[in-house]
Amino acid sequence: MIAERSARRPLPAPSEANPDGRPTRPDKLSIWPTEDEHFGIDVLYVGPQGHRRAEVVARQIESAGLAAALREEGSNAWVVRFGPVNREEMLAVLNGYVW
């Protein structure tokens, strides 16, 4: 079953934000549905590494062809916002770059 699923869709490129290539785990993740069955997503990073990780994730999302906005939240946090995207795009970004 896993081999069958892998054959249907290639995995996204690994994240550059971690030395081992694993995606960056956010400090907070918010997902909300829109009226047309799409989703908006906010990914929050906090702390000394937060800004670097947020920049990398925003750049990777944009290079995947999706618009992303990066904004500072308070004095020590950064939010990457993207969407609205369809379900498949949401899952691909979350599985490949965020989670």
Residue numbers of the domain that contains 63? 2-13+22-98
CATH code of the domain covering residue 88: 3.10.28
Q: Residue 48 corresponds to which tokens in the numbers above? A: 């000394």
pLDDT in tens, 37-50: 899 999 999 987 88
Residue pLDDT, tens place only, 52-83: 889 988 988 888 888 899 999 988 999 999 88
Whats the size of the chain, residue-wise?
A: 99
* pTM metric for this prediction: 0.74
* Strand, coil or helix: 70: strand
Residue 16 banded pLDDT, cuts 50, 70, 90: low
pLDDT over threshold 60, residue 84? yes
| Higher pLDDT among residues 5 and 92, named by residue | 92
Asked if residue 41 lies in contact with residue 97, where contact means CB atoms within 8 angstroms, the answer is no
The number of distinct structural domains making up the chain is 1
